[in-house]
Amino acid sequence: MATTDATAGTLTWLGHSCAAIRLDGLVIVTDPVLRSRVVHLRRQEPVARGAVDGVGVVLISHTHYDHLDLPSLDRLDPEAQVLVPAGAGGLLRRRGFSFVREVVAGDEVDVGAVRVRVTHAEHASGFRVGTGKTQPVGYVIAGTRTVYFAGDTDVFPGMGALGRIDVALLPVAGWGPRLPAGHLDPARAVEALELIEPHLAIPIHWGTYAPWRPPLGDETPARTFAELAATVVPAVDVRVLRPGQSCPLDDRPTQDGVNSLGATRSTGTS
């Protein structure tokens, strides 16, 4: 399984729900949707070449096409270990992945020095051709730092029982004019922050994909989230990243609680 420098501890947001997490010698990627177009959705900016090189663990939250895109997975090492909601493993095995683990909330999987805990997600169960009915999940990645990837979810009481969380990846918007049930808007995402109490929060699921060719990249949801968080939970440091930007996992809160500084732009072209 591919690894990186064991001292590395960085997170790169690649857009939508996809983040590349370098932690304790592993490269972990969440919901890798990387193409310029997925069904009717178009991506604002391409994903840099090499952005997903060395990935050893893939975490899939649910089977909706903007979270599980099979052609995007072709950019990953087929020897990577994939965790996917129970009922959807066949999609990955047929795509050539050798190590596929179907999971449900409450499962724990050890990979190298990291333990991945599977959490509930308050989101509609999905049906997709080639799978049965599956239940969306989130993940807590626990190593020398603890990262919570919520997937798609609304607030649920169990968020307050996740344990110590250093970094929370929380969705704050969608890709269309309406945000259906089972998602977080900026205000609801701040409610989630009150329950989780992470050191650092990074808004995801905004400004990356949209239908056809409308204006993209609107930072309003992420900035609104950061501003609300600064008032309601000022101890949480909120970093608003652009796709391709990175931040260290060992950051601690700033005095004002809102900080997009210190992010570094990854290089390369698609």
**Alpha-carbon span 141 to 21, nearest angstrom:** 10
Task: Tell me the whole-structure pTM to 2 decimals.
Answer: 0.88
CATH number, domain at 69?
3.60.15.10
Q: Classify residue 1: in a domain, yes or no.
A: no
Range 219-241 burial, b when 16+ CB lie within 10 A, else e: eebbbbbbebbbeebeebbbbbb
Q: Classify residue 270: in a domain, yes or no.
A: no
Instruction: Give average pLDDT by consecutive 10-residue segment, the chain, 270 residues.
Output: 53 94 96 86 83 96 90 95 96 95 97 96 76 90 96 94 97 75 88 97 87 65 95 96 91 44 34
Tell me which residue range forms the domain holding 81: 9-264
Q: Which amino acid is at 89?
A: G
Please give the pLDDT value at position 252: 52
Q: Classify residue 2: in a domain, yes or no.
A: no
Q: Classify residue 3: in a domain, yes or no.
A: no
Please give the pLDDT value at position 3: 41
What are the phi and psi torsion angles at 230 (to 5°)?
-60, -30
Residue position matching structure tokens 């996809």:
18
**Alpha-carbon span 234 to 226, nearest angstrom:** 10
Please give the pLDDT value at position 214: 47
Please give the pLDDT value at position 228: 97
Looking at residue 177, what DSSP letter applies? S
Closest CA to 205 of 239, 237, 169: 169
**Alpha-carbon span 224 to 185, nearest angstrom:** 10
Domain tally, the chain: 1
